[in-house]
Every structure is written in C-alpha cells, then in structure tokens.
Amino acid sequence: MPLPFCLGLVLLGLWFLLRSRRTRPRLGRWMVLWGLGLLLFLSQSRVGTWLLRPLEQTYPVIPEFAPGQPLPPALERVRYILVLGGGHKDEDNFPAAARLSPSALSRLTEGVRLWRALPDRRLIVSGPNNGNPANPAHADVLAAAAISMGVPADRIVRIDTARDTEEEAEAVKKLIANAPAAVVTSAWHLPRAAALFRGAGVDIIPCPADFLALRNQDFQWTDLAFDVDGLQRSTWAIRERIGYLGVACGERSDRRNAQSTGQRTRPHAVGQETQGLGNCMHLSGAAACPILGAMRPGSWVLRPPVTTGRPNVTFR
C-alpha cells in the first residue's frame, strides 16, 4: 500500500511537470518530493518498527511451559487450537514445512507448541486454494507440515474455503459453536483478527506469533538503514490499522442501524483483552493508531455472527 501510493504520487507529479509546465509546475515538484520523501521515511528500519510494535504488544506472548507446572487457566480451558494461514509456495518437490511462508511457518510452529501442551485438543488449520484446482489448499499444506511435526492426522481439522479472516471467523463459529479456542496468528495481525472472531461470537484466547518488530537491545548501525524490511513493516502496520478501522466503522454503522430498528447488537468490543494470561495492552489513543489518529476501540460493538450455511471443513 505505501509503495503504490508513493510511486503514484511521484508519477502524477512528473506528469504535472511534463504536461503542465506553465500552470502547475510547483504542484508537480511538491508531489514528487512528497512521494519520494514519504517512501524514504516509511523504508527506515526504526520507523517500521515504531509503527508495527504497538500492534504486536497488544496481547502478551504465551510463555514457555515449565515441566510439571500447570498451564495458565485461560489456556487450559481451550478445546481447539486454531492456526490462521499465512501463504505457501506451490513447489511439489519441497517438504510441506519448506513450502510455507515465514509467517505461516511461525504461526504453525506456535500452534504445534500449544498442541503439545494440550495433546487432547484438536488443531484447526485454515487456508483456501489459490484458485488452481490442481494445487492443494493452504490448509492441506499446513496440515501436512503439522503431521511432519508430530501431530496425528486424526487431531487436525481443515477449513479450506474461507478466503479472509472474516470468513475464517464465521467458519470457526459454525464449527465449534461456543467452545473456547486459542487463535494463533501473527502478532501484528492479532488485534484485527481478535476483533473479527469476537464479533462472530467465538470465545478466543489470542496467541501471538511471528513477531517482526522486536528491537535490538543495543544500538546497531543497521537500525539507521533504509531497506525493504522497514518498508514491509510499515506496510503491514498501515494495512492492519486501516483494516481495524474498517471493522470498527462497520460495527458503528451496524449499531446505529440496530438502534434505529430497535434491535440489539452483541456486546463484544474491539480491543477486549484476554483474561488469565497476564496484563494486556489495549489499542487506544495515538499509541493504537499513530497514523489514523486517536481510536477508542472499547466504544465499538461488533455485529452478530452470520448464520447462513455451513463451512466446508474436513475431519481427517
């Protein structure tokens, strides 16, 4: 998103410079300078970390489980462990784990770690086909990788038709009803995912993985670099905040419509924290959205779940 926007701004500025030399040359110059300057700013390593880190700090990481020690009560009560998909490459000669993207592999590794602590629970993996019927669905690749990590095939459930996080939340709700579930996804994606799942009425325990904004303890000269990794972190941060804002605005609209018709909406609020896993941070104020301004997630109410149809899920 930032890259197309910045390049579009530069190209539009060049068009003004070349085609409107007499009327709007100053506007063209400013557009080129702003486009290049913004792209350079968002590519800075520490800027990307600064933008993404508040999202990753929303929910606490699940600590290592000490042998012989009881699990946290909130985690002990879950009946399912859900791993949201993160993409893979269609390379038939590669093992399943090597085909997963770094994000998907990190999510699955965390999900398998939780399953090892709770081996009588079911592991749900989610991800659709890329559009080519000859290629396996992402859920199948995740399942194959989980089996290679020691998870029995009969403990794995696949959801292979949900195309995005909202559809995943609806499919999981229809599958597990009111049973509590641990939701494993990238830490920067978890605030929006948690809002969508709670909006669908799913009782979740957020479990972050795939941290991208961990800061170095000591200063390094690479922290001042301008690179693709910094731009990627900035891109994820901006995209997730826009998506989070879209969820919140949609729920405000639904709440107004419900009030006008006398209906009631679900009391699940965006930014609700996890109980029993330690103190969690809320996304609130400028810390929650330094780009989009002050956000007050607790004031937004999510819509009721969609109840039409049943997802295509497979027990294997």
- Lowest average pLDDT, out of 156-170, 191-205, 255-269, 291-305, goes to 291-305
For residue 246, tell me if it sits in a domain. no
Task: Provide the CATH number for the domain around residue 141.
Answer: 3.40.50.620
For residue 280, tell me if it sits in a domain. yes
Joined tokens for residue 39: 């792209």
Total domains in the fold of the chain? 1
Amino acid 18: pLDDT? 80
d(CA 195, CA 303): 10
pLDDT of 23 > 80? The answer is: no
For residue 237, tell me if it sits in a domain. no
Return the closest-CA partner of residue 161 out of 192, 139, 183. 139
pLDDT of 254 > 90? The answer is: no
Model pLDDT for residues 92-121, shown as the tens digit of each residue: 889 999 999 999 999 999 999 999 999 999
Percentage, residues of the chain above pLDDT 90: 45
For residue 226, tell me if it sits in a domain. no
For residue 234, tell me if it sits in a domain. no
Residue 298: Cβ-neighbour burial (10 angstroms; 0-12, 13-18, 19+): middle
Domain that holds residue 140: 68-216+266-315
For residue 61, tell me if it sits in a domain. no
For residue 60, tell me if it sits in a domain. no
d(CA 167, CA 269): 19
d(CA 101, CA 85): 9
d(CA 55, CA 64): 22
For residue 106, tell me if it sits in a domain. yes
d(CA 160, CA 131): 12
Model pLDDT for residues 37-89, shown as the tens digit of each residue: 999 999 988 898 899 999 999 999 998 988 888 888 889 999 999 999 999 98
